[in-house]
Amino acid sequence: MDLEGIGCNEMDWAELAEDRNRWHTFDLLSVVLKTCRFLGKSYTDAEVKGLLDHLSFAKMKENPSVNYEHVITRKRLTEDTKDLTFFRKGEAGDWKKAMSPELSARFDAWTAEKLRGSDYEVDTM
């Protein structure tokens, strides 16, 4: 990935806002740059590249500060949970392989109920 010349203050955010899905984690660069702008911060290309590495799925999956390994380890002491993980594959849409359409519909209904009255919109799949 070539980040040469891309600073937080150099991006045209109107261009990045074209596609709503750009803000999901599968476009981490856009998320990092949008966050930089929101915070009024400017970082070098090397610093942005370091953030992208630190925030990558692979690094997050191995980071005990965010992967709930301490909780999973305790759970393994009392239950048969060999394949229990907080981070799974990191593939967009992979949840569809693990969640039935019925459970997905229940989850969507629960989410809609909890967010009713807020200005937060959720795309259902």
Answer whether 0.75 is exceeded by the pTM.
no
Q: Higher-confidence residue: 69 or 109?
A: 109
Q: Specify whether the CB–CB gap between 53 and 29 falls below 8 A.
A: no
Q: What is the pLDDT of residues 41-87, one digit of tens each?
A: 999 999 999 999 998 888 888 888 887 777 777 777 677 766 767 67
pLDDT band per the 50, 70, 90 thresholds, residue 40: very high
Distances (CA, A) of 38 to 8, 16, 25, 31: 10, 14, 17, 10
List, as one string, the DSSP characters of 48-77: HHHHHHHTSHHHHHH-TTTS-HHHHHHHHH
pLDDT of residue 22: 46
SS3 107: helix
pLDDT of residue 3: 43
